[in-house]
Amino acid sequence: MTEATTSKNTFSRILTTLKTAIKGDESFDYTSGSIKKAVILLAIPMVLEMMMESVFALVDLYFVGHLEHSSFAIQTVGLTESVITIIYSLAIGISMAATAVVARRIGEKDPVAAAKAGMQAIIIAFVINSIISVFGFIYAKDILLLMGASQEAADYGVNFTRIMMGGSLCIMLLFLINGIFRGAGNAAIAMRSLWLANLCNIILCPILINGFGPIPAFGLIGAAMATTIGRSIGVLYQAYHLFNGRGILKIIPSYFIPDFEQIKHIAKIAAPGVLQFVIASCSWIFLAQLVATTGGDHGSAGYQTALRIMMFFILPAWGLSNAAATLVGQNLGAKQVERAEKSVFTTAKYNTVFMATIMVITLLFARYIVSFFTNDTIVQNIAVEALQTMSLGYIFYGIGMVLINTFNGAGDTWTPTGVNFFGFWLFQIPLAYVLAKHFKMGPTGVFMAVPIAETAITLASIVLYKKGKWKKIQV
């Protein structure tokens, strides 16, 4: 009877924690209490948030993969997403700076300074993205051709790319405002904004692509319209919760007056953060271009299909690792270095188990997963090879993500920038080129270079983490 009661109480506590994680609880103090509970409260909504972000690409991939010219459509979606990773890089870099500063101020029990910092980060995002979206819209076709698309594929997909690049502000704001919420410890709002955005995308995609009643079939362009509208609705939801005055961050209009000293401070943290992800995304762009030139339209479509599926699994792991950024930032702000270290270890352990499970699933069921997204046999074969090869490094990906977020959460954004520069540009890109071109392995050589480089990056990150420079950074 006692054992039954104990089990019931344990189950009840777990259920309560899960409900709290999904609902959100800004009153929870992440600088005290159970570290496991702190990780779970942050990780669950962050994992679900990133799963929702990855669903955007998969929903588009599914519907465009069944269009008449599916190889062109998949290639366009994939190549455009590859270029948009630069915007993701800017958004993630700025949001990491916002998370680090907001988390540190919250750890110091100064929510006013945290709110001011978050609003100054939004000003930075508006200025940067207004330039990018204009150039992206104007040079959309040139971008596709530069990425290795054939003239026919570029003509087919140019309007998709124009809409996606022109509406890129909503991508940046979605990432940035979620970074502000995460820094404040409210990952549940970030999660729900992605849920809403995805729900709208899932509903709108088949309607705008295939047509419904009086709504005409826009084909590939409809996918871009649905994604942009969905993300915009998600941003409106974020804005409502950011400005309604009920959360820990109380926003007033004066916080939007540019404070150039604070903008400079945030930019100083964000610049290497942006650079580290630009380095990584440019590497992926080069790999996509290398596959397109050595594998043709079908090779490119297969690789992009595998990449979108891979991101579906990796983004939730990135979400889990984001818990380390918030916990490290808040605990360093509270002068609790040992607790920050324990938080990193606990998060890394959970992420390793998660990625090991995903690796097994991917290796066993790659064919079934790929066939759901495209009915082109040639594309399927290439996608399966790419997915199984790249999944061999999943465990190292998981550990590396936690360490990268540890450095960034502490405000030590230069360390992962250096790791990415050497790991991607001086190792992964040359390795992929040599395997694909010199040894004439084509796309297979590119696929192999990914897990090899990611493993090396993780091992380097472990060495740098143990040196402990991240513990002494002032934000």
What does residue 372 show for φ and ψ, rounded to 5 degrees?
-70, -25
Listed in sequence order, the DSSP H helices in 65-110 are 70-107
Give me the pLDDT at residue 213, please: 84
- Please state whether the predicted TM-score (pTM) of the whole model is above 0.75: no
Domain span including residue 361: 272-474
282 and 253 within one domain: no
212 and 345 within one domain: no
Residue 24 inside a domain? The answer is no
Which of 231, 258, 285 delimits the end of a domain? Answer: 258
Distance CA 388, CA 49 (A): 25
Residue 34 inside a domain? The answer is no
Residue 102 inside a domain? The answer is yes
Residue 4 inside a domain? The answer is no
302 and 214 within one domain: no
| Spatial CB neighbours of 105, under 8 Å, sequence gap ≥ 6 | 111, 113, 114, 117, 333
| Spatial CB neighbours of 77, under 8 Å, sequence gap ≥ 6 | 57, 60, 61, 64, 157, 160, 220, 223, 304, 308
Quote the tokens at residue 348.
């890394």
Residue 117 inside a domain? The answer is yes
Give me the pLDDT at residue 364, please: 94
| Spatial CB neighbours of 121, under 8 Å, sequence gap ≥ 6 | 94, 95, 97, 98, 101, 176, 179, 180, 266, 270
Which of 218, 233, 258 delimits the end of a domain? Answer: 258
Which segments in the chain show pLDDT lower than 70?
A: 1-27, 53-54, 56-57, 60, 68-71
356 and 248 within one domain: no
Residue 437 inside a domain? The answer is yes
How many domains does the chain divide into?
2
Give me the pLDDT at residue 77, please: 75
237 and 110 within one domain: yes
277 and 254 within one domain: no
DSSP letters spanning 347-393: HHHHHHHHHHHHHHHHHHHHHHHHHTT---HHHHHHHHHHHHHHGGG
280 and 170 within one domain: no
Quote the tokens at residue 257.
């007056």
Note the Cα 132 to chain centre separation in Å: 19
430 and 284 within one domain: yes
Q: Are 306 and 450 in contact (CB under 8 A)?
A: no
| CA diameter of the chain | 73
Which of 258, 285, 313 delimits the end of a domain? Answer: 258
Q: What is the pLDDT of residues 359-398, one digit of tens each?
A: 999 999 999 999 988 778 898 999 999 999 999 999 999 9
214 and 69 within one domain: yes
429 and 329 within one domain: yes
Give me the pLDDT at residue 1, please: 47
Q: What is the 3-state secondary structure (H, E, C) of 264-298?
A: HHHHHHHHHHHHHHHHHHHHHHHHHHHHHHHHHHH
304 and 227 within one domain: no
DSSP letters spanning 193-220: HHHHHHHHHHHHHHHHHH-BTTB---TH
What does residue 215 show for φ and ψ, rounded to 5 degrees?
-80, 120
296 and 223 within one domain: no
Give me the pLDDT at residue 462, please: 95
Q: Which of 26, 88, 129 is nearest to 315 (CA)?
A: 88
Other beta carbons within 10 Å of 451:
18
Residue 20 inside a domain? The answer is no
Residue 10 inside a domain? The answer is no
Q: What is the 3-state secondary structure (H, E, C) of 24-57?
A: CCCCCCCCCCCHHHHHHHHHHHHHHHHHHHHHHH
Q: What is the pLDDT of residues 293-344, one digit of tens each?
A: 898 878 888 898 898 888 888 878 888 898 888 899 889 888 899 999 999 9
